[in-house]
Amino acid sequence: MVCAIYLSLISCLFPLLMASAKADTLSDIRAKGEIVVGTKADYPPYGFKNEASQIVGIEPDLAAELAKRIGVKLRIVPVLSSNRIQLLQEGKIDLMIATLSITEERRQMVGIIDPAYYAAGIAGLADPKAGIESETDLKGKSVCAIKGNFFNDDLRTLYVQKDPLIFDGVPAAEEALTQGRCVIFVFDETLMLSKKKYEAEKWKNYGLVQFTEVDPLPWGIAVKLEDRNSAYGKLISAAIVDWHRTGLLVDLEKKWLGANTRWILGVHEKYKVRP
């Protein structure tokens, strides 16, 4: 009877012991001497391939800083929006820095680390002759937008007050703008800043209009769900705070985008004044 009780107790405790052992991801990473980070390879300037086929950008730079902080080598694995969460859940990457917008649904799937390291607002490329300086100037204007963007409903009801021209992809919306079918193309601020830097000649005659009344959508670094509150998760959280406090994120954004978003400057001010 005693033996049976003992074996029963062991069988109950074993999964808990195994879960605890598996949760020490930081020690595992240090033991293998390498951290595997998933970043985008098709989303300049956050993660993309340069002429030498190396994955570079803001997020690979952050991955390199984390590897240095932990004291290990870095290996970057390219991920897509469609597979990034699955790769993390399956343990094929140790963490993800891949333009992941934070939602409650995603918080149930992976361990999104607080605070957010970045955020995407809304902006537009506008014909200067249209006289658009902010979203309040959009009423009655011909506006191009992308299907599925989180801002589209507010764009129509609050600002344009008529249906915008909706396109399935960015190339079609850009073509409509250059053909004069609309006077402004509205989409994620991050893309518009990238266009002004990396396609400067094409867009030199178009103004960048940053929308000030729209709250940016935060992006999060993610680990496995069970790692969120571990020593590993806490190290990453402390790193993000340092990046905001020291201005590293401000510098990287300026380096890769050529300008700074209001969100990143505001968060830097918030953290740098903390004792």
Q: Which tens digits make up the pLDDT trace of 75-84?
A: 999 998 889 9
Categorize the per-residue pLDDT at 158 as very low, low, confident or very high, splitting at 50, 70 and 90: very high
Task: Count CA atoms closer than 13 A to 70's CA, side-chain side.
Answer: 29
Listed ranges 138-142, 144-148, 149-153, 211-215; the one with the highest mean pLDDT: 138-142
End-of-domain residue from the set 182, 210, 238: 210
What pLDDT, in 10s, does the model give residues 192-207?
A: 988 998 899 999 999 9
91-127 exposure pattern, b = at least 16 Cβ within 10 A, e = fewer:
eebbbbbbbbbbeeeeeeebbbbbebbbbbbbbbbbb
Is the pLDDT at 71 greater than 60? The verdict is yes
Give how far Cα 42 sits from Cα of 47, 53, 220, Å: 6, 11, 18
Same domain for 138 and 176?
yes
Query: Is residue 133 in some structural domain?
Result: yes
pTM equals 0.78
Residue 73's pLDDT is 98
Is the pLDDT at 23 greater than 80? The verdict is no
**Cα–chain center distance at 19:** 29
Same domain for 134 and 184?
yes
What pLDDT, in 10s, does the model give residues 117-133?
A: 999 889 999 999 999 99
Residue 77's pLDDT is 97
What pLDDT, in 10s, does the model give residues 205-231?
A: 999 998 988 889 999 999 999 999 999
Is pLDDT larger for residue 148 or for residue 115? 115
Q: What is the mean pLDDT of residues 100-125?
A: 94
Q: What is the mean pLDDT of residues 105-114?
A: 96
Categorize the per-residue pLDDT at 87 as very low, low, confident or very high, splitting at 50, 70 and 90: very high
Residues 188 and 122: beta-carbon distance below 8 Å: yes
Residue 98's pLDDT is 94
Is the pLDDT at 3 greater than 60? The verdict is no
Same domain for 152 and 30?
no
Q: What is the mean pLDDT of residues 227-236?
A: 97
The residues that bridge with 200 in the sheet, in sequence order, are none
In whole angstroms, what is the distance from residue 95 CA to residue 186 CA? 32
Per mean pLDDT, which range of 3-7, 32-36, 52-56, 231-235 is the poorest? 3-7
Is the pLDDT at 141 greater than 90? The verdict is yes
Query: Is residue 20 in some structural domain?
Result: no
Residues 210 and 132: beta-carbon distance below 8 Å: no
Q: What is the mean pLDDT of residues 101-113?
A: 94
End-of-domain residue from the set 184, 210, 236: 210
**What range defines the domain where residue 145 resides?**
122-210
What's the CATH code of the domain at 194? 3.40.190.10
Q: What percent of the chain has pLDDT over 90?
A: 72
Same domain for 182 and 140?
yes
Same domain for 221 and 198?
no
Place of tokens 């649904």: 105
- The 222-223 sheet, strands edge to edge: 73-79, 34-40, 95-96, 222-223, 111-112
Q: What is the mean pLDDT of residues 54-78?
A: 97
End-of-domain residue from the set 159, 182, 210: 210
Element at 112 (helix H, strand E): strand 111-112
237-270 exposure pattern, b = at least 16 Cβ within 10 A, e = fewer:
bebbeebbbeebbbebbeebbeeebebbeebbee
